[in-house]
Amino acid sequence: RRWRVGHHVFFVLTQSVVVALQSFQSALEEADIAGARRNLRLAARLLRASAAAFVFTAEFSANQYHGGVRQTMEAPFVGDGFSGLLSPDHQYLVRLFARLRPALRNLPEELVPDHRAFTRALGAVYDSHKYVCARFGGDTGTSLRTSDASGLPAVSVLHALKLARTKIVGRT
């Protein structure tokens, strides 16, 4: 139950981050620095909530995970390579990060501290996801998205995604 409810919370937070970032973009285009700051701070707050939602979602035993939850994320319940990365909302958010990249790299100086906080908050989401994976064996076991033959632990896959995504939204 916690796994399912936690994911529902995460989906709502992902959609909320999208709205906050779209509002941030609109405010920037209108040279509304105060509005841009409010929405960038809101996006960071929502990302921190997403990080907390990951932890909430995984607060149950490894036996429960391996005895029931993990199987629901594999065939025949879902297609091979199943991942939250495949959700339309997550895909949209990642594309939005890429569209915002030029604006984030050329922010007015007064928004730079808020941008740093936003980037740290995004990193915290990936750190929380890594925590969840490690809790259930992903520090040594492979990701649902990679084959066992790759030998790459799930936590390593998430770390690479963290570096890539924080680079997209970063200033350099």
| DSSP assigned state of 69 | I
pLDDT of residue 31: 97
142 phi and psi, to 5 degrees? -75, 160
Q: Where are the domains of the chain?
A: 2-169
How far is the CA of 76 from the CAs of 73, 95, 134, 149, in angstroms? 9, 29, 24, 20
pLDDT of residue 77: 67
Residue 119 CA to chain centroid, in angstroms?
Answer: 11
pLDDT of residue 55: 96
pLDDT in tens, 88-104: 999 999 999 999 999 99
Both tokens of 45, joined, read: 């707050």
pLDDT of residue 148: 60
pLDDT of residue 147: 59
Both tokens of 122, joined, read: 């995004």
- Residue 61: partners with Cβ closer than 8 Å, 6 or more residues away: none
Cβ of 58: how many Cβ atoms within 10 Å? 21
pLDDT of residue 146: 61
Helix (H, G, I), strand (E, B) or coil at 142: strand
Q: Does the N-terminal peptide bond of residue 102 adopt cis geometry, omega within 30 degrees of 0?
A: no
pLDDT of residue 62: 87
pLDDT of residue 108: 96
How far is the CA of 115 from the CAs of 27, 53, 142, 156, in angstroms? 14, 22, 33, 26
pLDDT of residue 85: 57
64: left (phi over 0), alpha (psi -120 to 50) or beta: alpha
Q: What are the residue ranges in the chain where pLDDT is below 70?
A: 74-86, 144-150, 172
How far is the CA of 100 from the CAs of 14, 93, 107, 154, 167, in angstroms? 16, 10, 11, 28, 12
